[in-house]
Structure 1
Amino acid sequence: MTANLIKQTHFDAIIIGGGACGLMCAVQAGFLGKQTLILEKNDRVGAKILISGGGRCNYTNLYTTHKQFLSQNEHFSRSALAQWTVDDSISFFEAYGIAGKEKTLGQLFPVTDKAKDIVAVFTNLCNDLGQEIWCDTEVLSIEQSNEEFNILISRYGNETILTAKKVVIASGGLPIQKLGATDFGLRTARKLGLKVTDTAPALVPLTITGKDLPWYEQLSGNSIFCRVWNDRASFKENILFTHWGLSGPAILQISSYWRPGEYIYIDLLPGKNIVDLIATERLQNGKKMLLAYLSGLFTRKFAEALADHIPADKNLASLSKTELEDLAALIHEFKVKPAGTKGYDKAEVMLGGVDCNELSSKTLEAKKVPGMFFGGECIDVTGWLGGYNFQWAWACGFVIAQNL
C-alpha cells in the first residue's frame, strides 16, 4: 500500500459510512465519551435516510420483532433488537424534538414528515459531542497490521492512510448506486477471510416480459388492495400495475421472498368470496352483466382487463358452476410469473451480505478479525418494508458503540 501520508489517529474508532447505522454508532459512542470519525463517500451524510418514505422517513415500526427479518441465521437479529428496542428509538428521537406518528401497519414517521429532521438530529449531536465527519471521502481499502487497521482513503484528490485500532463497516449494501452504494463492505469482508452469503435486490418491483406485458401495460397506474403470497410469505397491502410489471407495497414485500422462475399469487378480493358475492347479487339482480358487476368491485379499467379471461358479456344468472369456479380462481388466485426484478437501483435494500455466523450477535464484532465491526445493511439481515430496516440500523449502531 502506498500513499502520500500515513496519519496516526487518536480516534477510538473509524466508522465507514454515514448512513443510519454509522450515524447512530457515532452518537452513541459520543455519549460514552469515545471519539469517532465517520468517513462518508457522498457530499453529505444520510443519503438514503433523506429519500426514504418519499422524503418523509419511516424511521421505525411499532411491531418490530426478529420475525420481520430475513437471514440464513434467523435468530441472529434477536440480540441487537433486544439491546436497542423500538421504545428506545422512539425515546431517542423524542428527546431531540422528533415526535412520531403512526400511519399504517405500525409505520412511524416524524410528525413533520421531513426526513431531513432525522438527519439533523445526528449531525447536530455529532457536532455537540465532537464526533468528526469527513464527507467526499472514499475508502479505497483496509489492511490489518498487527493490532491496527490501515485505512487508505482518497479525499480532495489526495490519498492518505489513516490508522485505527477499531473499524466499523457501516457502508450499506448494493442499492442504490446513484446514492453512492458500492460493494465495499462485502469486498472487505471477503478480503479478510469472512464468508459472504449470496446477495440479491430486495423490496424491489417485479417485471413482466413477453406476451403478458401488454396486459399489464394497459393497467399502468391502477392500484388495488390485495393479498399477495407464495410458499414462503403472505402480505396484504396495495399492488400497483406499471408499464413494465408490478410494484406497490405488497409486491415489494413479496419480492424479498421470490426467486427467479417462481410464481406469485394474488387474491384480488382478500377476505371476500366472489362466488358468494355473486350468489347474493343474483337474488336481487340476476340480469346484471358480469362486467358491470365487476366494475363495481374494481375500477372499470381493471374489470375490462379481466374481461379478457372471463365471460364478461354474460349476466350473473346465466353463469355456470364451471364459469364461477374459473372466475374464483382468477380473482382469488391470480397467477403471476415475474421475469425478474428492477434491480439494485430500484431496490430499497439488499438480501444477503456478511454471513451472520462470522459475527458475534451480541457485539457485531467479526470473530476472526478482532476490532472490526459490521452493522446495518451489509450484514445478512434484511427487514420488511415499513421502518424495520431503520430499526435494525439504529440497533446495530447502538450495539457496536457499546463495544468499541
Structure 2
Amino acid sequence: MMDADAIIIGAGACGLMCAVQAGYLGKKVIILEKNEKPGAKILISGGGRCNYTNQFASAEQFISANSHFIKSAFNQWTVDDTISFFETYGIQGKEKTLGQLFPEGKNAKDVVDVFTSACADFGQEIRTKADVKEIEVLPDGFKVTYQKNEKTISLRAEKLVIATGGLPIPKMGATDFALRFARKHQLKIIETAPALVPLTITGKNEEWFSQLSGNSVFCEVSNDEISFEENILFTHWGLSGPAILQISSFWRRGEVINLNLLPGENILLLLDEERKMNGKTLVSTLLNRFYTKKLTDALGKFLPLSKPVASLTKIEIELIDETIHRFKVKPAGDKGYDKAEVMRGGIDTNEVSSKTLECKKIPNLFFGGECLDVTGWLGGYNFQWAWASGFVIAQQI
C-alpha cells in the first residue's frame, strides 16, 4: 500500500510549491521537513520581507554548467504565473528596484502562509521535525524512513521529490542531504561553493577597509566576466552589499575585482570642469560631493586630497582616475555558507530531464530548487527557479 502519490523531502520554496500544484491536480503528497516549521529560508529572505520573484527573470541571470537548462522550466512556469499565483492568494507585488517584487503590505510569513493554507485545503500533509534517515529505491517506488520525536516511521510512494536546498545557512537547517544521496547513487555533482556571499579582506589592506565599516557607496563592481551596478558596503572584515554579493557568485579565490567608485561620471571631466570654474577647489572638496567625509578621508591614503585641482600634475590626475574608476581589490576569501544566500554548483543538470526534472538514472525521482546546479542572481531570481521547478515536478506526480 502506498501512503501518498509522492513524498516530498523539504518544505522550502520548491517543495511547498510542488505540494500545492500537485493538490490542484488532485494528487496526494506528504512533505517531510527537518525543521520545526516549513519555509524557514523563505521567512528570513529579504530581511523578512521576501523578494519572491523578479520581473526580468530569464535564463540570463543564472549560473549553471548548462546555461540552457532552465529555459524549459521557465517556459512552463513564467514570472507572470508567479505573480498571478500569489495574487490569487491576496499578495500583490510591489517593485522595489531592478524588477524585484515584494509583497505589498505583507511579509515573508504571509508568503509561507499561502502555502501552508493551500496545503491544508488540499489535504497535503506537512510533517515537521522529520529527519529522513534512509531512502530505499524499490521496484514500484520508494520507501522513506525518518525519525520524529525518537520514533522511526516509514512511508512509501511511487514518486519521490528531493527539494532539500543547498548548504547555505546551516543554522536554518541546511544540510548536504541531496548531495549525499546523489553521490551514493553515482550522480555527478558540479563543485559547490558559497554564492551571493560577502567577501573578506585580510593582510595589509585589512585595516583600511575596517575603518570604513558601515559606509555604503553606489558602485560598479566587475571582473573579467561580468559587472554589476549597485551599492557596496564596507564592513570590519571586508565588503558586502548587493553589488558585492552579485559578483561573489562569479569570483574565484585569487582573483582581483574592480570597483568603479563613481559610475556614470568621468572624474577626468569633473576635474577639468572644476579647474575651469575654480581651480582653487581642493580634491577633497570635489570628492565630498559624492562620498561621505569618512570615505573621502580614507582615499587620502592614495590621493592628494589637500591639493587644489589646478595644481595637480599629470601623474596625480592619472592616479585619481585610476583610483576612482579602477580601484582594485583582491579578496582573501568569503564569509562561507553561514552568510551565503545560495550555493553555487550542485547536482549536475545533465542527470535530470530539463522538461520534467526527473532523474535519468532513477525513474520517478525528481530534484528541484537549489540542490541542482542552478544559481540565480540576487533579487528574487532564485525564488522564481524554486517556484518553477516545483510546478514542473508537480505535473509529473
Q: TM-score, normalised by structure 1?
A: 0.97
**Corresponding residue for 1:64?**
57
Cα distance, 1:337 vs structure 2: 0.3
Counterpart AA for 2:45: S
1:245-295 per-residue CA deviation (whole Å, 9 max, x = no partner) reads 000000000000000000000100001110100110111111111122211
**Corresponding residue for 1:263?**
256
**Which of 25, 43, 59 is 1:32 aligned to?**
25
Provide the rounded CA distance (Å) in 2 between the counterparts of 1:141 and 1:105: 43
Cα distance, 1:141 vs structure 2: 2.2
Cα distance, 1:188 vs structure 2: 0.7
- Matched-pair contact (CA < 8 Å) for 1:72–1:380: yes
Provide the aligned length of Structure 1 versus Structure 2: 397
Cα distance, 1:159 vs structure 2: 1.5
Provide the rounded CA distance (Å) in 2 between the counterparts of 1:274 and 1:247: 25
Provide the rounded CA distance (Å) in 2 between the counterparts of 1:191 and 1:162: 21
**Corresponding residue for 2:331?**
338
1:163-218 per-residue CA deviation (whole Å, 9 max, x = no partner) reads 22110000000011011000001111111221111000000000001111000011
**Corresponding residue for 2:209?**
216
Structure 2 runs not aligned, ≥5 long: none
- Matched-pair contact (CA < 8 Å) for 1:141–1:188: no
**Corresponding residue for 1:139?**
132
Cα distance, 1:136 vs structure 2: 0.6
The root-mean-square deviation of aligned C-alpha atoms, in Å, is 0.8
Provide the rounded CA distance (Å) in 2 between the counterparts of 1:287 and 1:141: 75
Structure 1 runs not aligned, ≥5 long: 1-7
**Corresponding residue for 1:226?**
219
- Matched-pair contact (CA < 8 Å) for 1:55–1:113: no
Counterpart AA for 2:358: E
**Corresponding residue for 2:377?**
384
- Matched-pair contact (CA < 8 Å) for 2:195–2:343: yes
Q: TM-score, normalised by structure 2?
A: 0.99
**Which of 168, 177, 185 is 2:170 aligned to?**
177
Tell whether 2:183 aligns with 1:187. no
- Matched-pair contact (CA < 8 Å) for 2:52–2:383: yes
Provide the rounded CA distance (Å) in 1 between the counterparts of 2:112 and 2:138: 34
Provide the rounded CA distance (Å) in 2 between the counterparts of 1:297 and 1:236: 16
**Which of 81, 85, 90 is 1:88 aligned to?**
81
* DSSP 3-state at the match of 2:189: coil
Provide the rounded CA distance (Å) in 1 between the counterparts of 2:345 and 2:222: 21
Give the percent of matched residue pairs that are identical in Structure 1 and Structure 2. 64
1:46-71 per-residue CA deviation (whole Å, 9 max, x = no partner) reads 00000000000000000011010000
**Corresponding residue for 2:395?**
402
Provide the rounded CA distance (Å) in 2 between the counterparts of 1:307 and 1:11: 67
Provide the rounded CA distance (Å) in 2 between the counterparts of 1:11 and 1:235: 46
* DSSP 3-state at the match of 1:165: strand
Provide the rounded CA distance (Å) in 1 between the counterparts of 2:103 and 2:256: 37
* DSSP 3-state at the match of 1:185: helix
Tell whether 2:121 aligns with 1:128. yes
**Corresponding residue for 1:19?**
12
Cα distance, 1:145 vs structure 2: 2.2
Choose 113-122 or 68-77, whichever is displaced more: 113-122
Provide the rounded CA distance (Å) in 1 between the counterparts of 2:134 and 2:66: 28
**Which of 128, 131, 143 is 1:150 aligned to?**
143
Cα distance, 1:160 vs structure 2: 2.1
Counterpart AA for 1:321: K
Cα distance, 1:16 vs structure 2: 0.2
